[in-house]
Amino acid sequence: MVVFLLFFYCFNSAVLFDAVYWLLLMIFYTAVEFLNKLLGLLILSIITRALGVDSFVQYSAILLVFGYFYEVSLFSYQKRNLVDASADVNFVYSPEYALRLRVLSLMSVLSASLFFLFAPGSWQFYVWPLFVSLLLPLFVFDYYLFASGLSKYVVISRFLSQVLVCSLLLVGYFLGVDPQYIFIVNLFQTVILSFFMIIFSVRFAGGSFRRWSDNLIKRKVSLVEFFGELNFQKNVFSSKILVMLIVSYEIALFSLLDGGQYQDMVLGSRLVLIVLPFLHFYLSSNISSINSETYLKYVFYNAIGVCAMIVCSPVIVFVLFGEEYIKEGFSLNYYSALIVFQAYMNFIFILALKESFVAVLAKRLILILVVSVLVVLAVHCWIGISGALLLALVVGKVCLAVLLCPGVGVKYRLITLQLFFIPMILNYGLIEVGYFDFVIVLVRFAGDCIWRLI
């Protein structure tokens, strides 16, 4: 009996130790991801305070335009590489991957050159760091870690890069460095993040940087293969860049037309960026389980997140952006509903890659974009566009896109529209009952009390 109890104790001790180890590991990575979000918010807070409302609006608009060029540099290979590497992690050493790297190199140089040539002289910031960033997509390896089931190292890489970026921003803020150099921070984060991704890919995912570089440099690729791959990938790229344009082309368009009515949309889009990394992380971590049956749960959770963010928006805006942004009001919250639309479009794009209807999706997206842009330009030339009218046009665009895009059934599309409107209705109701004014008074009172205690 004593021997049995001793054996039972030892056996369960081993099992218990293993269970405790994995539990602590899970808590650790959850804590790191939580700190990631806090650091991201802190970085955004420092930038907004350093720039002020008007400069921050232009900063955000430039980043959005830069995002289009960055997608040209990536040539939309990230999601396709993720899908293929998830099926076979050694895909990154294959001849097909080498072919993609050659195409990627060409597109990076082309994108950087176009950005350098067409960057408006009216921008008040130095944008040469963004030009350099467009040359670096060859060294983006997050998809390799996701495909290897090691997304935790993506989390750690982001944490380390954000700690360094936050330190750099704080030093620059307190030393009074000219905000015109703010995009150096973006370049620094891109370089540091890529560095950590490569280190973790080699150290923990079994990757070989030498094999990867040999595959890029030594593998022979014929012109027929090169242009064949370029022709094949153009449908994927067209769909991805159209997805990006459909979600937020109004900001780029009105920044060119020099209209100030897009400010609410810019600030609302910055709030969207608080949640957007969660969407990309979820899609990349669950690439194998993405199908039309899991769609509704994915979009529903995003809608709930938007509603929670709207309820907390007075605190978020006050803490992150400061008193100056509170005066702008909370009509910017209407554009937070674009998170639901962004979730829908990203899901449809990945589903199109997996189920091979990219060409059909691209044609539908072209139709949606052309119709939407023509309507906006016609209204702008005819009667001009106010803030309320811009919101109505954005809502019309979303309805058109959700109803016309392939991939999910009509029932799910109608539910998507309902989930899109719920946050907007919530925001309207909160404005009407004076909720935001009441919370702002409480936040200011709490801030004064804390300041006096300090």
Whether 40 is in a domain gets the answer yes
Question: In this model, does residue 23 exceed pLDDT 60?
Answer: no
Cα Rg of the chain (Å, integer) = 24
List the structure tokens of 300. 């529903």
Whether 325 is in a domain gets the answer yes
- Are the beta carbons of 235 and 359 closer than 8 angstroms? yes
Between 400 and 205, whose confidence is greater? Answer: 400
- Same domain for 179 and 244, yes or no, is no
Helices 338-355 + 358-382 axis angle, to 10: 150
- Same domain for 305 and 172, yes or no, is no
Question: In this model, does residue 10 exceed pLDDT 70?
Answer: no
Question: In this model, does residue 160 exceed pLDDT 60?
Answer: yes
* Per-residue confidence (pLDDT) for residue 13, from 0 to 100: 55
* Per-residue confidence (pLDDT) for residue 370, from 0 to 100: 92
Question: In this model, does residue 168 exceed pLDDT 60?
Answer: yes
* Per-residue confidence (pLDDT) for residue 396, from 0 to 100: 92
* Per-residue confidence (pLDDT) for residue 9, from 0 to 100: 46
Whether 306 is in a domain gets the answer yes
- Same domain for 391 and 287, yes or no, is yes
Mean pLDDT, the chain, as a whole number?
Answer: 79
Confidence band for 272, pLDDT divided at 50, 70 and 90: low
Whether 366 is in a domain gets the answer yes
Question: In this model, does residue 47 exceed pLDDT 80?
Answer: yes
Between 31 and 226, whose confidence is greater? Answer: 226
- Same domain for 48 and 138, yes or no, is yes
Chain Cα centroid distance, residue 242:
15
- Same domain for 268 and 412, yes or no, is yes
Mean pLDDT along residues 258-271:
66
* Per-residue confidence (pLDDT) for residue 236, from 0 to 100: 80
Residue finishing a domain among 193, 221, 249? 221
Backbone conformation region of residue 383, classed left if phi is above 0, alpha if psi is from -120 to 50, else beta: alpha
Lowest-confidence range among 127-131, 260-264, 378-382? 260-264
- Same domain for 185 and 265, yes or no, is no
* Per-residue confidence (pLDDT) for residue 283, from 0 to 100: 53
Mean pLDDT along residues 156-170:
87
- Same domain for 332 and 443, yes or no, is yes
Residue whose structure tokens are 């330009």: 377
Residues across the chain: 454
Residue finishing a domain among 169, 196, 221? 221
Whether 299 is in a domain gets the answer yes
Residue whose structure tokens are 């639901």: 340
Whether 17 is in a domain gets the answer no
Closest CA to 92 of 193, 211, 231, 230: 211
Whether 21 is in a domain gets the answer no
Rounded CA separation 398/383 (Å): 22
Between 181 and 271, whose confidence is greater? Answer: 181
* Per-residue confidence (pLDDT) for residue 2, from 0 to 100: 46
Give the model confidence (pLDDT) of 55-112 as tens digits.
887 888 888 888 888 888 888 887 788 878 888 878 888 888 888 888 888 899 999 9
Confidence band for 11, pLDDT divided at 50, 70 and 90: very low
Angle at 258 between CA 256 and CA 263, to 5 degrees: 100
Give the model confidence (pLDDT) of 325-355 as tens digits.
665 567 778 888 888 888 888 888 888 877 8
What residue numbers bound the domain in which 279 lies?
A: 238-454
Q: In sequence order, which residues have a C-beta less than 8 Å from that of residue 199 and are 6 or more positions away?
A: none
- Same domain for 214 and 242, yes or no, is no
What's the pTM value of the predicted model, to 2 decimals?
A: 0.77
Start-to-end C-alpha separation, the chain = 64
Mean pLDDT along residues 185-200:
89
Other CB atoms within a 10 A radius of the CB of residue 361 amount to 25
Backbone conformation region of residue 386, classed left if phi is above 0, alpha if psi is from -120 to 50, else beta: beta
* Per-residue confidence (pLDDT) for residue 29, from 0 to 100: 56
Say how many domains are in the chain.
2
Whether 230 is in a domain gets the answer no
- Same domain for 214 and 256, yes or no, is no
Between 211 and 283, whose confidence is greater? Answer: 211
Residue finishing a domain among 221, 246, 262? 221
Give the model confidence (pLDDT) of 383-428 as tens digits.
877 778 888 888 999 999 998 888 778 888 898 899 899 989 998 9
- Same domain for 91 and 122, yes or no, is yes
- Same domain for 193 and 272, yes or no, is no
Catalogue the long-range contacts made by 153-157 (C-beta closer than 8 Å, 24 or more residues apart): 153/197, 153/200, 153/201, 153/204, 153/205, 154/197, 154/281, 154/284, 155/29, 155/32, 155/33, 155/36, 156/29, 156/32, 156/196, 156/200, 157/193, 157/196, 157/197, 157/200
- Same domain for 242 and 373, yes or no, is yes
